[in-house]
Amino acid sequence: MCRHLAYLGPAVPLASLLYDAPHSLEHQSYAPADMRAGGTVNVDGYGVGWFPGPVRYRRAGTLWSDANLRQLASVSSTAFLAAVRSATVGMPVADAACAPFTDGTWLFSHNGRVDGWPGSVASLAKTLDVTDLLTMDAPTDSALLWAVLRRRLETGKNPAEALVELVREMADAAPKSRLNFLLTNGKVLAGTTWTHALWVLERGQSVTLASEPLDDDPGWWEIPDRHVVTAVPSTVEVRPI
Ligand code: GLN
């Protein structure tokens, strides 16, 4: 299972969460504290997208060995989403298979897997046209889910509603799927818990969502499983899916 995080608040360097925190995303790539479903490390890829933009950078491989990203991470941002990847067995290891996926103003990440891939996505895939399918980033479960979601966001659908709808449809088609999502447009963070953890920290005027707490701040709290969260600084709303 991958690890992901999203930040919204006063501008901070990307490095503060990617590298500097005691249990930074880099640390979570080689020493994650809460892996499930067989994975042990997150070494197949990584990515970060930030605002204004969004500007997105992603690579296959190990986060800790990328000296270019370490330089780039001195950029300060008011909103960003980052992930490290443990590729699901059978899925390609490639730059384009790494989160965040992006379109327009959105950044998206999926921690988990679609059970029964690819047959189980047949009904969801039918909502896509041939252009959507041929412009998918990669032949992976996460990229397919993003291809479906981005079309729905284009229609102006509320981000949390769009995530809930996607979880329900996918879980109906393949109940053993793991559907832990993060989504942001730089103004709001949205996320789901569907078999894996997501933690929240409100600090000052900022809010962070992360698969694992990045430090020992007692303010971190865990969103219950099968819930959706919508967060802006000073307002975090959580409800069951
Ligand atoms: N199934 C997705 C992939 O292969 C996400 C993997 C994960 O969460 N470990 O990219």
Residue 151 within a domain: no
Residue 119 within a domain: no
Q: 2 in helix, strand or coil?
A: coil
Residue with token string 């088609």: 173
Listed residue (67, 99, 96, 94) closest to 82, CA to CA = 99
CB distance 196 to ligand 1 below 6 Å = no
Residue 166 within a domain: no
State phi, psi for 94 to the nearest 5 degrees.
-160, 155
CA distance 213 to 201: 8
- 165 CB-near residues (< 8 Å, 6+ apart): 152, 157
> What CATH code is carried by the domain that includes residue 20?
3.60.20.10
Q: Which amino acid, one-letter code, is at 48?
A: V
Residue 213 within a domain: yes
- Report yes or no on whether pTM surpasses 0.95: yes
Contact 58, 146 (CB under 8 A): no
Instruction: Count the Cβ atoms, other than its own, within 10 Å of residue 27.
Output: 20
The confidence score (pLDDT) of residue 36 equals: 72
Q: What is the mean pLDDT of residues 41-70?
A: 97
Q: 168 in helix, strand or coil?
A: helix
pLDDT higher than threshold 90 for residue 38: no
The confidence score (pLDDT) of residue 1 equals: 63
CA distance 6 to 188: 10
142 CA closest ligand 1 atom index:
2
Q: Ligand 1: distance of its center to the CA of 114 in Å?
A: 9
Listed residue (118, 200, 124, 113) closest to 165, CA to CA = 124
Residue 201 within a domain: yes
Complex ipTM above 0.90?
Answer: yes
Q: What is the pLDDT of residues 85-116, one digit of tens each?
A: 999 999 999 999 999 999 999 999 999 999 99
For the chain, the domain total comes to 1
Residue 234 within a domain: yes
CB distance 113 to ligand 1 below 6 Å = yes
Residue 210 within a domain: yes
pLDDT higher than threshold 80 for residue 37: no
Q: Which domain covers residue 65, as residue numbers? A: 3-112+177-240
CB distance 142 to ligand 1 below 6 Å = yes
- Tell the residue nearest (CA) to atom 10 of ligand 1: 87
Residue 123 within a domain: no
Which residues are known to be catalytic? 2
Mutate to test the pocket of ligand 1, among 4, 140, 170, 212 (most ligand atoms within 8 A of CB): 140
pLDDT tier for residue 211 given thresholds of 50, 70 and 90: very high
Q: Where do the H-state alpha helices sit in the chain?
A: 14-15, 25-30, 67-72, 122-125, 130-134, 141-154, 159-173
Q: Ligand 1: distance of its center to the CA of 112 in Å?
A: 5
Q: 77 in helix, strand or coil?
A: strand
Q: What is the pLDDT of residues 122-135, one digit of tens each?
A: 999 999 999 999 99
Q: What is the pLDDT of residues 162-171, one digit of tens each?
A: 999 999 999 9
Query: Read out DSSP for 14-75?
Result: HHIIIIISTT-HHHHHHS-S---TT-----SEEEEEEETTTEEEEEES-GGG-HHHHHHTT-
